[in-house]
Chain A
Amino acid sequence: MAAKTLPQFLVRNARDFPHEVAIREKEYGIWQQWTWAQYLQEVRDFALGLVALGFNAGDKLAILSDNRPQVYWAMVAAQAVRGTPVPLYQDSISRELQYVIDHSDAVMVLAEDQEQVDKVLEIKEHLPKVRKVIYDDPKGMRHYTDPLLTSFVAVQEAGRQLARQRPGLFEELVAAGQPEDVALMAYTSGTTGAPKGAMLSHANLVAAIAGLQEIERYQRGDETLAYLPPAWVGDTFWSLAAALIVGFTVNCPERPETVQENIREIAPHFLVAPPRIWENLVSQVQVRMEDATLAKRWIYNRLLPVGFEVARRRMEKRPLSLPLRLLHALGEFFVFGPLRDHLGFRRIRSAYTGGAPLGPEVFLFFRAIGVNLKQVYGQTEISGVSCIHRDDDVALGTVGKPFPNVEVQLTEEGEIIARGPTVFLGYYKNPEATANTVRDGWLYSGDAGFFDANGHLVVIDRAKDVTSLADGTKFAPQFIENKLKFSPYIKEAVAVGQGRPYVAAMINIDMDNVGKWAERQHVAYTTYTDLAQKPQVYELIAREVERVNRDLPETTQIRRFVLLHKELDADDEEITRTRKVRRAFVAKKYENIIEALYADVAEVPVKSVITYQDGRQATIETKLAIWNVETAAVSV
């Protein structure tokens, strides 16, 4: 019987190549590994344990954990008994958890450790449907007596007992699985409104991976790192679905702080990362190069442009001259190869950026050093990914072409819509939203875009975010923000200007990089707020804004900007957990600052309530400077 559900693929892997490594986790200083046979054993024990605890087909298992093998085992285990895993963002605060856990009707919660257990227990009165909270890491749990609690290993032990009583039960359950079963419920944070639970079937995920495999051709023996939040659909897409279907090896990092080091150890064959990680890597390289010895810097500065030139020419399919080839070979030896080795991309065949557009400079940087970075595009509702660059057809600013099994079109208003076997089943308990999103089999993405001359899809912005200035000039705030965010000194930016005479920006400086810069410039500072208000820092950022302006049409260039006194924070609901700006919320919260950006004032007083990690609150009062920027002649 051909495998049709993810648990069936697992059974196939354990049968066909039982001794190959399925998953690793760095723990206790070395990479602990599990073969497919062992993976299956862990899943079987946990699945039957769930059954023993009364988890039935159709039940939901909420998961609140960093990337650990146990997360993936639990997901497949829930699927094996025809239930549904509901992964949650591990940095969610109790209030957010309460809504999602309750709305999803989860009957059990898998929580990684004491910290996560505490968050769940804090709101247990509001979670009447939750019957068990399963913890994975027993550290610090010794004195917890709440009857809701049980441990991962205890559940597995119960599973082993059940297996002894009813041998063959697991196999029966797995065999009964149907492609239409809900394999994943992923709550999309959305920049407006309450989160919605998107339901994906096994058939959706299997079709998505089939589409991907026609383009990417992963193999058994490939390595990748699972380090992005399990709640993000991409993690299920790569670390669970693709891994099970293709049979490659997934590696879980030791701790969130060691991800980069762990990437270097594993040297993955492919890796996905959101723009902010790619941006971070580039700033890191830049900063470390600035501190390198003169000789090293000289070589780097000479050869990096060669990489850029070659990358550009290859993208545009223009020929490379012999001298350029020779220089590029030198660059490969002296700069690109070593850089790839430091970043852990020595074996990388494909790297992906997704979730938001990536600045062209960052994109080109990676291609210049020989990393095959490609844009992917998609939504949770279409199983994660629907468009991707092909290896021989990468272009700046586009998201490539649709998967072979997905059809993408534009509505008359320019909204991107898609159709195919990967379109989701609908939102959980929300037929209205479902009907709004899927019409006649077409998934309405909410993104505005167009097809370029080569048939590549270009995404401009959220359709509803594209807006116009007072004189009717259209502009896409995100487009401008992404350009700003390429600067290593700018972490977050919000471009405003709807119905106003010009575009203005609220900017978050990047504390790490600006801090280092300030140290080099001997600018003393105390806090984030203090640093952000230094005139020298304003000058620094003004130069960055001017640079961005040179790439923008004159009408939509940034005329004024302010450096915010605090970072936009998901805990303050200013951005989503996936770091998308909640525009409406921010516009309202920073109303007076935005007013000041369009008034004839040089500073604006702010008062803001800050919530510390431990829940204490404090009010800070300060004045934020507002600067004008010169507009620039257009260079493109």
Chain B
Amino acid sequence: MINREAGVFHTSYESDMALYALPLAKITAWGMVALLVLLPLPLSLLQNEHLMSIVNTIALAAIGAIGLNILVGYTGQISIGQGAFMMVGGYTAAILSTRYGMPFWVGILAGGAMSALVGVLFGIPSLRIKGLYLAIATLAAQLIMEWTINHVTWISGGAQSSIYVQNPTVFGWELDNEFRRYYLILVFFLLAYFAAQNLVRSRVGRAFIAIRDRDIAAEIIGVNIFKYKLLAFAVSSFYAGVAGALWTYYLRIANYENFTLVVSIEYLAMIIIGGLGSVLGAVLGAIFIKLFPIALDLTVIGISEGIFGVRYGAVADFLANFQLFVFGALIIVFLIAEPEGLARMWENVKRYFRLWPFSY
């Protein structure tokens, strides 16, 4: 109803191929960016650092999920090793900043690069194996990485395999609270988001999709499958590495427990729920997976305290289990209702109003 498409015409390929070609889409996109930039304002007025930290967690997760979606959703190569690749990034950054005194941005980029390198290495089996077999191979990668970092003390720093890092400093401005750290994460999130949106509609992105959809046809038009599969692994792990490094700076500690197999599976869940093969979907999935347990907590606490008068501590155990149960059930319901994820749901909503009052 508020969508306006009449009168939108393109006199150049650039505008015809723009990411947001319609005025409403353009306005929405800019509005979202503005919202994200201004978000800390109300939260800092409320002095609600906790809420800010939730947003930070989501944005960090979104970077990793976008990366994983490039590999799994766009290129069709299943991976349950995203946690491991994040781990590489995290430890690389930690080592560089604590032992070599490198600035944080070097740590982040080097974390991404190192992770990309390792990703390519573990991507090599994808040339021979597909589907579930590849999933198992990446699982092996996850376990190998976990073991290595746990047992090679040069990397893990010994005690509890943890390396403590300093708060990053930008132009003498120490990122010592959630609001400040938010801006660091936001910059990387926006870069990650738009870089991915650009990538997937480029020559490289089309080649990825071609491999996913029909690898024989991809070969016949000259796509070097070997090269592009490895490229997908590299890009995906780079994203993971950057996310891992940021995560480390954010927590001020690199610890393998933040990057376990469970984390890898969590990321897979994000992109499946968000929508495979959609950059926006990865973000929506990250929001869902990170926000939902918290919302569930609050609901259960609200119900138990408000209605039954039971204090939170008394239900903590039950809550932890209940949360997992509902969470699992919900994922199943979601996948049955819309196998193509939140991104598709969002598309459907947009379509409904875009076609209004028609239905096609």
Contacts and interface: CB of A to CB of B under 8 A. Distances in A.
Direct contact of A and B (CB under 8 A): yes
Contacts of A334: 1, 356-357
Given A299-B357, A340-B6, 20 more contacts: A30-B16, A31-B9, A31-B10, A33-B11, A264-B5, A265-B7, A265-B9, A267-B6, A291-B359, A291-B360, A292-B358, A296-B358, A334-B1, A337-B1, A338-B356, A338-B357, A339-B357, A341-B5, A345-B6, A346-B4
A296 B359 contact: yes
A32 B5 CA distance: 20
A289 B358 CA distance: 6
A428 to B, nearest CB: 40
A335 interface: yes
B356 A288 contact: no
A293 B359 CA distance: 6
B5 A338 contact: no
Nearest to A303: B357
A30 B12 contact: yes
A218 to B, nearest CB: 17
A30 B357 contact: no
A131 B82 CA distance: 74
B3 interface: yes
Contacts of B154: none
A266 interface: yes
A473 B314 CA distance: 96
Contacts of A585: none
Please indicate which of the listed interface residues A31, A299, A340, A345 has the most CB atoms of chain B within 10 Å of its own CB: A31
Contacts of B5: 264, 341
Contacts of A193: none
B359 A341 contact: no
A442 interface: no
Contacts of B4: 341, 346
B6 A264 contact: yes
A344 interface: yes
B8 interface: yes
B357 A292 contact: yes
Interface in A324-360: 333-335, 337-347
Contacts of B11: 24, 30-33
Interface string B335-360: 00000000000000000000011111
Interface string B106-130: 0000000000000000000000000
Contacts of B8: 265
Nearest to B16: A30
Contacts of A323: none
* Chain B interface mostly: loop
Contacts of B356: 296, 334, 338
A346 B6 contact: yes
Contacts of B16: 29-30
B13 interface: yes
A285 to B, nearest CB: 8
A29 B358 CA distance: 26
Please indicate which of the listed interface residues B8, B9, B357 has the most CB atoms of chain A within 10 Å of its own CB: B357
B210 to A, nearest CB: 21
B359 A292 contact: yes
Interface residues of B, number: 18
A345 B6 CA distance: 7
Nearest to B5: A341
Contact of B1 (A31, A292, A333, A346): A333
Given A29-B13, A30-B12, A30-B13, A300 B357 contact: yes
Interface of A: 24, 26, 29-33, 264-267, 288-289, 291-293, 296, 299-300, 333-335, 337-347
Interface in B1-28: 1, 3-13, 16
A161 B8 CA distance: 40
Contacts of A292: 357-359
A253 B8 CA distance: 15
Contacts of A300: 357
Interface in B119-170: none
A347 B7 contact: yes
Nearest to B358: A288
Q: What 4 A-B pairs have minimum CB-CB distances, sorted nearest first? A: A267-B7, A346-B6, A267-B6, A265-B9
25 contacts: A24-B11, A29-B13, A30-B10, A30-B11, A30-B12, A30-B16, A31-B10, A32-B11, A264-B6, A265-B7, A288-B360, A291-B358, A291-B359, A292-B358, A296-B357, A300-B357, A333-B1, A334-B1, A334-B357, A338-B357, A341-B4, A341-B6, A346-B4, A346-B6, A346-B7
Contacts of A341: 3-6
A338 B1 contact: yes
Contact of B6 (A26, A299, A347): A347
Nearest to A251: B9
Nearest to B356: A338
Contacts of A333: 1
Contacts of A342: 6, 358
Contacts of A33: 11
B25 to A, nearest CB: 15
A345 to B, nearest CB: 7
A341 B354 CA distance: 10
B357 A289 contact: yes
Please indicate which of the listed interface residues A31, A266, A333, A338 has the most CB atoms of chain B within 10 Å of its own CB: A338
B114 to A, nearest CB: 43
A304 to B, nearest CB: 10
A33 B360 CA distance: 31
